[in-house]
Amino acid sequence: MIDPRLGRVSFIVLRNMRTPLIVLICVYAISMLGMVLMPGLPDKTGVPTHMSFFHAFYFLAYTATTTGFGELPTPFSNAQRLWAIVCLYISVVTWIYAVGKIISLIKNPHLQSAFAEETFTQAVKKKSSEYYLVCGFGDTGSLLLRGLTDAGLSAVVIDENQERIQALDLRDYKTKVLGLCADAAFPRYLIDAGIERKKCIGVLILSNNEEANLKVAVSARILRPDIKIICRSTSVENEAEILAIGGDVHVVDPFRVFASYLSMMIYNPTIQILNEWMSGAPNAALDRNICPLRGGKWILCGHGRMGRIVYQKLVDKNIDITVVEPALEKIEDIAESAIHGRANLENLEKAGLNECVGIIAGTDNDTFNLSMIHQANRNHPSLFSVVRQNQHANEVLFKAADVDYIMQPSLVIARMVLFMLTAPLLKSFFSHLRLVYENDPSLLADITNRFALEVGGDRPTIKTYTISQKQTPAVYQKLFEQTTVSLADSYRDPADRKNFLKVIPLVHRRGRTIKVLPSNDLELMAEDEVLFCIKPSDKVTFEANLTNVHTLGYLLTGEEPIRSGFLRWLKRNEEAYKA
């Protein structure tokens, strides 16, 4: 069966080059016939000679390349020379016409698209490593790809914007990222991207088009019933439809995630500090006091999709909040807690700017958000300010503004999806922390101090390791030899086995049993999953413990193993002699 992409290329080429080819063939056929019919110089008997078809073709062939070999096979008569002149000019004009058509064909966007699609498909087929299919390469996709490649994961991208796809070659990603300029809503492009291959282990749908995201999710589930699907959605209706396709599917709503972050920042600041530190947020540090104002009044500017979720989340936590919104229909249901109008200084003062402790600029317009915060901070510098950043391109402005906390939906999604892929057990960790905080705040402070003392730094490495032959061969081999390996043994310091590397085990999962902050004496078993928080400088040493059987053997026994075959032979002979 002929590949339809090749058929499309052939069709485009033949459709554009049909007329030039016919003209060339006709011109050369007439020229050859003329050269054959034109009488040449007479022979010894006085009879005019004639050129053969082969010699006519040979003459026209070398003249077409502007190579002059002279008059062959014999000198021409005047009639032949006259016809040769006609052939030369006609062929030059014909070739100019044909070359022009070839150039226009090369620039044909449909042909370029067909070639790009075929090249992309062949490159995907050659991928030997597992990869994620990313549909949508906007701000979210760009940020996520950076995190994926930094984590050593591979990805394939589909996006409708040609400039974004071309930009893939300009990014210094640690692994090669293949891209195709196409609409992922068309199933054939998902097939081109290798969704049916076992190497494709997940589909990440991150565009801003709700309808397109739903269509891609449905197509992906039909084409690969077992694949993991993570989809962005800010619509409750679309979220329900996406979850209804079943299987391993997850929906990420940036506004809901941010509302949770904001609520946590006000109500559970210590947990949010840990969250930002582990995700590598700018300026994140364990000793940073994000929001010291748990009580007091807040002002929310904007009651759209994000504003509604933020408002409800804060109200559920009994936080006093007033909304400022210019669209009357958006605040009809909360009229008693809202001010109708633009978020200028006058309306902010009506909302209680003089008495409030914090302000949230949450509209979908970056200029308005920065203007609101600037006005509020100029009159009340002590306000805690939270601003929504919609466009990643405006990052320089937001960093320069006097803002306490910046919420960027694309960054929120990228971080959350990255954790879902690289550290899915982290959700259990933070669920445990929230429970601990409500029961004993001092215990949560002890946990934070432990991270600061045992790991520290600006940004740790968060990674899940499975006790398997592939990922932790040294531990797996020791378990196969029925040697006990405890959790503490895995992260001892090879330089001094009595000490430990800057590593903290966060979550241990065995089947359906999950332990948060497991004890050091926990005995590991095959197929266990352990989520670790690692100081980046100790990551290589830690992974050597898990993969190098000699290093792990020393950590378990305290004895350096004999690696030389000759020395092992001497030792066996010595033991045999003593016996």
Predicted TM-score (pTM) of this structure: 0.75
User: How far, in Å, CA of 467 to CA of 481, rounded?
Assistant: 14
Range 122-147 average pLDDT: 90
What pLDDT, on a 0 to 100 scale, did the predictor assign at position 261? Answer: 77
What is the distance of C-alpha 552 from the center of its chain? 35
Residue 64: count of CB within 10 angstroms of its CB: 17
Q: Which residue has the tokens 């003249």?
A: 63
What pLDDT, on a 0 to 100 scale, did the predictor assign at position 1? Answer: 43
Domains of the chain: 4-106 (1.10.287.70), 130-252 (3.40.50.720), 255-429 (3.40.50.720), 455-557 (3.30.70.1450)
User: How far, in Å, CA of 543 to CA of 62, rounded?
Assistant: 67
What pLDDT, on a 0 to 100 scale, did the predictor assign at position 201? Answer: 94
- Which stretches does DSSP call E strand in 415-551? 461-466, 492-493, 496-500, 503-510, 513-516, 529-534
**Residues facing residue 463 across a β-bridge:** 532
Write the CB contacts of 439 (distance below 8 Å, at least 6 apart in sequence).
none
Element (H, E) at 19: helix 4-37
User: How far, in Å, CA of 159 to CA of 178, rounded?
Assistant: 11
User: How far, in Å, CA of 91 to CA of 406, rounded?
Assistant: 68
Cβ burial of 318 (10 Å; 0-12, 13-18, 19+) is: exposed
User: How far, in Å, CA of 285 to CA of 527, rounded?
Assistant: 34
Range 166-186 average pLDDT: 88
In terms of DSSP bridges, do strands 320-325 and 297-301 run parallel, antiparallel, or are they unpaired? Answer: parallel
What pLDDT, on a 0 to 100 scale, did the predictor assign at position 200? Answer: 94
Digit-coded pLDDT (tens) for 292-323: 555 678 899 988 888 888 888 888 888 889 99
What pLDDT, on a 0 to 100 scale, did the predictor assign at position 566? Answer: 61
What pLDDT, on a 0 to 100 scale, did the predictor assign at position 507? Answer: 94
Kindly tell me if the per-residue pLDDT of 452 is higher than 50.
Answer: yes
Digit-coded pLDDT (tens) for 318-360: 888 999 999 888 888 888 889 998 888 888 888 888 888 888 8
Write the CB contacts of 475 (distance below 8 Å, at least 6 apart in sequence).
467, 485, 490, 524, 546, 552
Kindly tell me if the per-residue pLDDT of 129 is higher than 70.
Answer: yes
What pLDDT, on a 0 to 100 scale, did the predictor assign at position 565? Answer: 61
**Residues facing residue 386 across a β-bridge:** 360, 405
Q: Which residue has the tokens 């004999």?
A: 562
User: How far, in Å, CA of 4 to CA of 395, rounded?
Assistant: 44
Kindly tell me if the per-residue pLDDT of 238 is higher than 60.
Answer: yes
Digit-coded pLDDT (tens) for 38-85: 998 988 888 889 999 999 999 888 888 777 778 888 889 999 999 999
Range 111-138 average pLDDT: 89
Kindly tell me if the per-residue pLDDT of 577 is higher than 70.
Answer: no
What pLDDT, on a 0 to 100 scale, did the predictor assign at position 2? Answer: 44
What pLDDT, on a 0 to 100 scale, did the predictor assign at position 4? Answer: 54
Write the CB contacts of 381 (distance below 8 Å, at least 6 apart in sequence).
none
User: How far, in Å, CA of 532 to CA of 460, rounded?
Assistant: 10
What pLDDT, on a 0 to 100 scale, did the predictor assign at position 69? Answer: 74
- Of residues 471 and 570, the one with the higher pLDDT is 471
Mean pLDDT (the chain, rounded): 86
